[in-house]
Amino acid sequence: MRLAFITSNPGKVEEARKYFRSLGIKVYQLRVDYPEIQADTLEEVAEYGVRWLAERIDGRFFLDDSGLFIEALWGFPGVYSAYVYKTLGIDGILKLLDGLADRRAHFESVVAYWDGELHLFSGRVDGEITTERHGSGGFGFDPVFKPTGFERTFAEMTTEEKNKISHRGQALKAFSEWLKENLK
Ligand code: ITT
């Protein structure tokens, strides 16, 4: 089975590909720009995107909407993570947290699958923002996100290690379990 992953982010595709390979599902990247609305939750952003795309492209597909939520910043950047990554970047986030003891943060991911109907799967991982960048793997905020219980950032882990604990890994797990049940 082949599955289209609609995203502009090759790092996400790499993670999904590694995840689904063992299940015999081939994931391929489809780049279609879709509107990411301003909303309070990742679910709303993902649902709007999926319904917009479903009117324009044929067949089944999925997308992923994720965000980094920093406790000391009341959840910012959250649903604005893509914009903040492009503008403030990692350095901007480190500056905002400069001198703060409370560096708790979490990632959330919503995977939205369309097969004529909408199916949502989500995941979350808690951790903290490090004071400096560590590692060169992964993408986005990975060099400064250290999951709870680990001494390495996501950027210091292999894709397989990150997938086992990450927000996206959990959402993909729920998605793949659903697929196993529903594609019989
Ligand atoms: P899409 O085309 O799939 O939307 P995107 O990179 O804009 O790609 P999101 O809006 O879901 O994706 O992501 C919001 C931001 O959070 C973006 O800057 C990502 O780089 C970052 N991000 C998402 N997942 C991440 C992860 O697993 N590790 C580090 N940063 C992540």
Model pLDDT for residues 110-130, shown as the tens digit of each residue? 999 999 999 999 999 999 999
- What sign has the CA pseudo-torsion 144, 17, 184, 6? positive
Ligand 1 binding site (Cβ under 6 Å of any ligand atom): 7-9, 12, 64-68, 81-82, 85, 107, 138-142, 154, 166, 168
In this structure, which topology does domain 2-182 adopt according to CATH?
Answer: Maf protein (3.90.950)
Q: What gap in Å lies between CA 124 and CA 170, rounded to an integer? A: 7
The pTM of the full predicted model, rounded to 2 decimals, is 0.96
Alpha carbon nearest to ligand 1 atom 23, residue:
66
- 98 catalytic? Reply is no
**Length reported for the chain:** 184
pLDDT at 184: 65
Q: Cβ atoms within 10 A of the Cβ of 180, count? A: 10
| pLDDT beneath 70: ranges in the chain | 184
pLDDT at 22: 80
Q: Where are the domains of the chain?
A: 2-182
70 is written with which tokens?
Answer: 């920093």
pLDDT > 70 fraction of the chain, expressed in percent and rounded: 99
